[in-house]
């Protein structure tokens, strides 16, 4: 069921999606791609497959800077009766063939060019009077070794549990899919292969006029796939078509993107890290300063200025003995001392400053604060 693709966009690109999913379809395609979704995203898809089956998908993604969450539901069932025959090949009624799944997905950014993801699926299927269901876990990874190049990988059915062992002994096989994508502002070319290497998928996208996309692809099953995408304001509409030996397929998907772009939040967060790093550095808390500047690299590549600052910090830390845990405790005490002093609670400020000095006796800023408070407690209060 999931091999058919979760949206019209990726289907039109030949179902090459392991390294290229930037909307709510990432919930199904590659959970690591949740980190590439820039806004709160919703997706609905409806497809008529092989002129017999109806395929529906709903999904949503709540994106974050470091972690993203998603979920959805997918259903596949026959829209026309499937004839049932007996042992003598005579018609004996009809049979229903259906599958459905509830999906929860989680993505995490490990570095500015590396993300991982995990998804959980409650997968059910039924053929006539014989239902079964499975709990399934998938793993995904997304890595960009250089600008515009993305590598993606998905392990499907890493763990699966049969919830109906009395009905069937079926097991879902472990399947991996790897993908490579080249992306620019106007073009994308994506290529996927599965664990058998005989199953391959190739797709391309061309964007023009700021709102239109032409899509085309091919794979080991469909000779050619085609599609058109239109994106305007918060809405995105895609249509895809393909002819197969089993029949023709047409898919429609509608996407909704809400809220601000995550790239703006990234820039704000980076500015906060720089500001904190500069403050730590000015006060002599060099381990914390390094931690702040290093945290930038989780969100985006370091600028030349940030790299120079980190190099300077490494040189200073090479000749110091204070470790990060002690420095963190010292900063908490120092920060409380400053807050107490602003509130004119000088005795409490002195207590906190002395605690900070106990963790970092060599810090001149803490020492100066202790001396100032010792001289002025009782005078300024």
331-348, pLDDT tens digit by residue?
A: 999 999 999 999 989 999
CATH fold match for the domains 2-260 and 264-376: no
Q: For the stretch 194-206, what's the b/e string if a residue is b when 16 or more beta carbons lie within 10 angstroms of its beta carbon? A: beeeebbbbbbbe
Span 226-283, pLDDT tens digits = 999 999 999 999 999 987 766 678 899 999 999 888 989 999 999 999 999 999 999 9
β-sheet bridge partners, residue 213: 207, 229
pLDDT given at position 163? 61
Query: What pLDDT sits at residue 280?
Result: 97
Domain residue extents for the chain: 2-260, 264-376
Task: State mean pLDDT over 301-322.
Answer: 94
Looking up tokens 């290497």 gives: 197
pLDDT digits (tens, 9 = 90+) for 118-146: 999 998 877 766 777 888 999 999 999 99
Burial class of residue 184 in the structure, from the number of CB atoms within 10 Å of its CB (0-12 exposed, 13-18 middle, 19+ buried): exposed
198 or 103, which is more confident: 103
pTM of the predicted structure, to 2 decimals: 0.86
For residues 272 and 256, the answer to whether their CB atoms sit within 8 Å is: no
CB atoms within 10 A of CB 68: 27
Return phi, psi of residue 345, to 5°: -100, 75
pLDDT tens-digit series, residues 23-68: 999 999 999 999 999 999 999 998 877 667 788 999 999 999 999 9
* Average pLDDT of the chain to the nearest whole number: 89
Task: Identify which of 325, 376, 330 has the alpha carbon closest to the alpha carbon of residue 357.
Answer: 330
Domain 264-376 grouped into CATH 2.120.10 = no
pLDDT value of position 93? 59
- The model's pLDDT over 64-112, given as tens digits with 9 standing for 90+, comes to 999 999 999 999 887 656 656 656 666 665 566 778 899 999 999 999 9
- Could you tell me the fold of the domain covering 2-260? Porin (2.40.160)
* Overall average pLDDT of the 177-203 stretch: 94
Provide the pLDDT for residue 24.
Answer: 95
């Amino acid at each position: 069921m999931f091999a058919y693709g979760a949206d019209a966009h990726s289907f039109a690109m030949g179902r090459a999606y392991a390294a290229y999913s930037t909307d709510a379809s990432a919930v199904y395609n590659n959970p690591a791609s949740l980190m590439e979704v820039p806004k709160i995203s919703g997706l609905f898809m409806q497809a008529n497959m092989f002129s017999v089956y109806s395929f529906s998908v709903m999904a949503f993604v709540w994106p974050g800077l470091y972690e993203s969450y998603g979920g959805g539901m997918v259903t596949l069932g026959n829209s026309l009766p499937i004839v049932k025959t007996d042992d003598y090949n005579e018609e004996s009624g009809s049979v229903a063939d259906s599958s459905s799944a509830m999906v929860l997905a989680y993505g995490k950014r490990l570095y500015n060019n590396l993300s991982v993801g995990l998804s959980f699926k409650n997968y059910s299927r039924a053929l006539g009077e014989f239902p079964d269901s499975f709990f399934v876990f998938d793993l995904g990874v997304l890595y960009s070794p250089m600008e515009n190049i993305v590598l993606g990988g998905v392990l499907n059915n890493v763990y699966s549990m049969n919830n109906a062992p009395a009905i069937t002994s079926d097991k879902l096989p472990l399947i991996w899919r790897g993908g490579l994508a080249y992306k620019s502002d106007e073009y994308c070319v994506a290529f996927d292969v599965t664990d058998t290497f005989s199953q391959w998928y190739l797709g391309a996208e061309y964007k023009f006029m700021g709102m239109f996309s032409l899509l085309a692809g091919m794979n080991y099953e469909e000779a050619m796939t085609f599609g058109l995408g239109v994106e305007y304001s918060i809405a995105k509409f895609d249509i895809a078509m393909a002819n197969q030996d089993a029949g023709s397929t047409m898919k429609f998907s509608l996407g909704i993107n809400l809220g601000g772009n995550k790239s703006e939040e990234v820039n704000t967060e980076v500015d906060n890290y720089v500001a904190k790093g500069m403050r730590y550095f000015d006060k002599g808390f060099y381990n914390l300063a390094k931690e702040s500047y290093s945290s930038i690299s989780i969100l985006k590549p370091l600028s030349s200025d940030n790299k120079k600052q980190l190099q300077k910090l490494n040189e200073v830390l090479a000749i110091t003995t204070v470790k990060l845990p002690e420095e963190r405790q010292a900063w908490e005490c120092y920060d409380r001392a400053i807050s107490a002093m602003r509130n004119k609670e000088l005795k409490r400020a002195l207590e906190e400053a002395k605690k900070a000095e106990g963790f970092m006796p060599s810090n001149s800023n803490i020492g100066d604060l202790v001396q100032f408070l010792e001289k002025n407690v009782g005078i300024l209060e």
